[in-house]
Structure 1
Amino acid sequence: MQDARMTPDEVTQLFTRADGQFAFARWGRPIAPVIFGVGDKTLETIKGALEAVAALSGHKLAETDPELGANLMVFFFRDWEELPQVPNLDRLIPDLGPLVARLQSAGANQYRVFRFDDQGGIKAAFVFVRMDGALSDLPADVLALSQVVQGILLWSDTAFTDRSPLAVLQDRTILRPDIAALIRAAYDPVLPVAASDPSHALRLQARMQSAPPA
């Protein structure tokens, strides 16, 4: 099983977008989630994944956000055309129609939109998951953990294109130890909530090396 070590370059790449820009951000406020489009059993699985990742990071969950009510909205659906039918969603997501058209054209099965506070920290996230054949075949706990992990930080748009943040240990799907260590490091209160300089990856990597095992 892989250990929790990463090189500085590997950390850097996880926050370097396809256009070459380095962009790191973590949540700057407690996460108040609301989930749409799943049954009670799957809802409990997603909540369990949220609680586990929040405990790992040391970040808090909340019932409500004082400004937004819910600040993490996760939508599960079968077809992108369903999104424009969601009441008031176009007020939260500007240019929703053109966005849906682009996602349909690309054959995408997931998309995330983040909003940021004055310090650059994440203040809201909208997660859209189209349950195509590939995602529908995943066990609920795997799908839930994957989505939660991808929403806990502002990762690069290419971060997990070639490799999942999850791993299999004795027939059980878990968060990769190196990704777990990076999430813990990212929420170190000494570090800023956001950074655009690649040197931030060095600070993250140093804390990963010094952090005690989970």
Structure 2
Amino acid sequence: MDMMDIQAMFSGPDGAYRFARWRRPIVPVVFGVEDATLAVFKGAFQAVCHVAGHDMAETDAEMGANLMVFFCRDWAELGQVPGLDQLIPDLAGLVRRLTEAGANQYRGFRHESDGAIRAGFVLLRLDDRMSSIPAEVIALTQAVQVILLWGNQAFDALPALTVTEGRAVLSPDIARLIRAAYDRVLPDASNDPSHALRLSARLASSPSQ
């Protein structure tokens, strides 16, 4: 990946560059699944945090949990989750838009004053397509997609996961980019496209494995 590839991965539909990573340790919690799936998600978040060199924790001092994953069968179910409308602005409007679009997933973030990720919210609707995907693949995909503030089309050209020996694993190129993005020398957030050049330089100097 060169600078332009990286810049595209952190650009929105308007073409503006928006990079952000977590500063505080990630504290995930998953609602609406069985205990076995909870363990799968925790393992996926731990794996991606390990790649990033970032920490997980048991609790966040301000929020308790700062990465919340909600599974549902119908988007309307989210309106019945106590307090969710206090965490996600205009939840009713969001539910309406997701329903109209036929979407099966949504990710949203709250940010620190300087733009770093403060909290993340993942909403997943178990439609026929989502239900056909192994829990391990869903968990690892979502873990990758919340570790950074990616652009909407970040993984169109380069998928986040690859298959090795019949098992879905993190793409080596994506793993290297995540690792570079969490270099302590870099800022936690940036809207300057030249930030992509700094990421590119770190990729060029890092080992391929």
TM-score, shorter chain, exceeding 0.5: yes
- Aligned to 1:67, the other structure's residue is in SS state coil
Counterpart for residue 139 of structure 2: 144
The answer on 1:53 being equivalent to 2:48 is yes
Counterpart for residue 127 of structure 1: 122
Unaligned runs of 5+ in 2: none
1:119 to partner: Cα distance: 2.0
**Partners of 1:72 and 1:132 in 2: how far apart?**
22
The answer on 1:21 being equivalent to 2:16 is yes
Deviations 1:175-205 (A, max 9, x none): 1111000000000000000010111111111
1:213 to partner: Cα distance: 4.3
**Partners of 1:79 and 1:98 in 2: how far apart?**
15
Deviations 1:123-164 (A, max 9, x none): 100110111111111111111100110010000022134653
Counterpart for residue 209 of structure 1: 204
Counterpart for residue 31 of structure 1: 26
Aligned partner (choices 3, 8, 18) of residue 8 of structure 1: 3
Deviations 1:29-78 (A, max 9, x none): 10011110111111111111111111110000010000111100001111
The answer on 1:72 being equivalent to 2:67 is yes
Identity within the alignment, %: 57
- Aligned to 1:90, the other structure's residue is in SS state helix
Matched to 2:28, the amino acid is P
**Partners of 1:36 and 1:213 in 2: how far apart?**
36
The alignment's TM-score, normalised by the length of structure 1, stands at 0.94
Counterpart for residue 108 of structure 2: 113
The two structures, once aligned, show a CA RMSD in angstroms of 1.1
Counterpart for residue 38 of structure 2: 43
- Contact map agreement 2:172 2:208 (CA 8 A) in 1: no
**Partners of 2:55 and 2:175 in 1: how far apart?**
16
- Aligned to 1:112, the other structure's residue is in SS state strand
Matched to 2:111, the amino acid is F
- Aligned to 1:10, the other structure's residue is in SS state helix
Matched to 1:177, the amino acid is P
In the alignment of these two chains, the number of paired residues is 209
The alignment's TM-score, normalised by the length of structure 2, stands at 0.97
